[in-house]
Amino acid sequence: MDRAEKDKLEWIEWLRAEREKRGWSQQLLAEKAGTTRQTINDYEEYRRVKHPDGLILANISLIFGEADDYLPRLAGLLPPPEDGQDPWVKKMNAKLRRIPIHNRDAADRMIESLAEKDVEPREIKRKPKTKTKPSTS
């Protein structure tokens, strides 16, 4: 298998990782994407690698918060974007658009800190949620 063929298989790993990250079954993803569990299983088991359905891949891309052409391009069904935009940049732009307005300043500061030389990203520390006891009157 040459490098181009290996690159085309990357979409399968991405699909499986995104599904598992959410704790979804193949059946649940299939229902959301408008296909069958068997189709999802065939993709993940490398049985339909050469002829994946572009519409299903577009639906899965959207379900996972990506542009509709993300998986079809990753699978080699579509040519690289004419704008020459790096697919990773396009993916990050899609994620950035989903950040609520009130969180954008914090996101900007985090990105700036990551862009600086020799700066390790800091772990975001969240305050533990405290349970309020119901008042007894």
| Tokens 């990050």 found at | 92
Pick the CATH number of 1-105 from 2.120.10, 1.10.260, 1.20.120, 1.10.10: 1.10.260
Residue 40 is predicted with a pLDDT of 95
Query: What are the structural domain ranges in the chain?
Result: 1-105
pLDDT of residue 45 exceeding 80, the answer is: yes
If you average pLDDT over residues 43-72, what whole number do you get? 88
Distance of CA 45 to the CA centre of its chain: 19
Higher pLDDT, 79 or 132: 79
pLDDT of residue 90 exceeding 80, the answer is: no
DSSP state of 23: T
Q: How far is CA 86 from CA 9, 55, 105, in A?
A: 18, 22, 24
Tokens representing residue 26 in the block: 């193949």
What is the average pLDDT score of the chain? 80
Residue 67 is predicted with a pLDDT of 86
